[in-house]
Amino acid sequence: MTTTALRRQVEIVSPTRQRVMGIVFLVFGFAIWLIFARQTGADQVTTFALTPGGSEVVLPDWRVPSAAALYALAMVSVVLGGVQLARGFGRWTNLVLGLVAGIFIFGFLVWAAADKSLNLGGLMNTTLVKAVPLTLGAMSGVLCERAGVVNIAIEGMMLSGAMMGALVGSVTGSLWLGLLAAVAAGALLALVHAVLSITYMTDQIVSGTVINIFATGMTSYISSKFLQVYQNLNNPGIFQPWPVPGLSRIPLIGPILFNHNLFVYATFFFLILLHVALFYTRWGLRLRSVGEHPKAADTLGINVFRTRYMAVILGGMMAGFGGGYFTLGSVGRFDEVMTAGRGFISLAAMIFGNWTPFGSFGAGLLFGFADSMASKLAILQVKIPSEFMLMAPYIATMIVLAGVVGRAQMPAADGLPYEKE
């Protein structure tokens, strides 16, 4: 048995972690009862609309007795906590934690929309759309950091990709050429980052920060001097949604998953492709080896520098593609600093997702849900500042880093320059 496998086994059966998880489950249940259930009247009813906006498939509303549902959710969470304290769920602990977290979130929605109506289908659809750029940015980080290069320049690469996509798309009248320019812009900045951090061994954080500052200044200058003055240079249009025949008419799920534009479908494709490539191919094994133990990889004949260059440039292309989403897949124009820090949020999603594509996607959905729900709180007139919802994913990320839900395993050589002996 390898050391890693043994460590994971110890974590699974750790009595301390079993008790901590049990207490967490109990806290969730107690919170649902104290904060939500006790504040809800017995006669209140929560109405969930299940039809996303614009969908042709209409489902009847789902009406839930608010107080009864909240007491039931609290009871389930407490029971799961008791079982966890008594005997534990073993390797299923994290799955049960996700279930309890989902119960808490659903309880929050039931309480927030008591005697009101909340479009649950629309909320799920918006969550997915908002998660797309975060997931693309996180996959950019996964590619780079799995090869041992920290890339905090994702924000600058996305911003540059967004501007170049709008500019080239407007000049050429072709969305596809605009998208190609966005990808190329990300690749070019990634090449600069690779040269500085791999060849010249510059501090990778400093290199990424320089690129972010450069991208912010350059795109803001071009936007104020040209794009905002000559509107014909800032009107590329957007990729229109394409409903998947048959699948888009599946009730609830169809409009949420199969009625989107190129960027959403491409995100699903890249998720599967990157996961398979990283963990089931020789290429992925080599890439991960230079991020874990570059000296051993070099001894076995793997070109560490070339592999890292390739990973960083591919990551830059992914970030540029994600930047293209903002202009070519969302609003159809470029505005200064329109990425609004989503490149940095992508890094948090990557860490929360434990440096894996699907984990990053799950984290992106969490951040996307928080962002979507923050805008719904004002509509529902909930007396909770929207900033608290925006804080939640970051708190969850810190909990992950603290090891409460399983130790995050960053690549061993992440951020360490390699010097060939």
Comparing 45 with 395, the larger pLDDT belongs to 45
pLDDT confidence of residue 197: 95
37, two tokens: 């259930």
- What percent of the chain clears pLDDT 70, i.e. is strictly above it? 93
State the pLDDT confidence band at 171, using cuts at 50, 70 and 90. Answer: very high
| 88: pLDDT strictly greater than 90 | no
- Return the CA Rg of the chain: 23
The model's confidence at residue 317, banded by pLDDT at 50, 70 and 90, is: very high
pLDDT of residue 400: 62
Whether the pLDDT of residue 9 is over 60: the answer is no
Given a cut of 50, whether residue 165 has pLDDT beyond it is: yes
Across 14-28, 190-204, 402-416, least confident range = 402-416
Q: Does residue 202 surpass a pLDDT of 50?
A: yes
pLDDT digits (tens, 9 = 90+) for 402-414: 655 555 688 999 9
Highest-confidence segment of 180-189, 250-259, 334-343: 180-189
Task: Give the pLDDT score at 156.
Answer: 96
Average of per-residue pLDDT values in the chain: 89
Q: Name residue 117's beta-bridge partners.
A: 47
Residue type, position 338, single letter: M
**What percentage of the chain has pLDDT greater than the value 90?**
65
Give residue-wise pLDDT tens across range 90-120: 878 878 888 998 999 999 999 989 998 899 9
129 has a pLDDT exceeding 80 = yes
103-112, 175-184, 223-232, 336-345 — which one is most confidently predicted on average?
A: 175-184
In Å, how far are 72, 166, 219, 339, 358 from 102, measured between CA atoms?
A: 14, 38, 40, 28, 18
User: CA 397, 398, 399: angle at the middle one, nearest 5?
Assistant: 90
Structural domains of the chain ordered from first start: 3-115 (no CATH), 121-401 (1.10.3470)
Residue 12 predicted with pLDDT over 70: no
- Mean pLDDT, residues 259-267: 95
Average pLDDT (255-269) is 94
Q: What is the pLDDT of residue 2?
A: 43
CA dist., res. 389 & res. 382, Å (int): 12
Question: What per-residue confidence (pLDDT) applies to 407?
Answer: 58
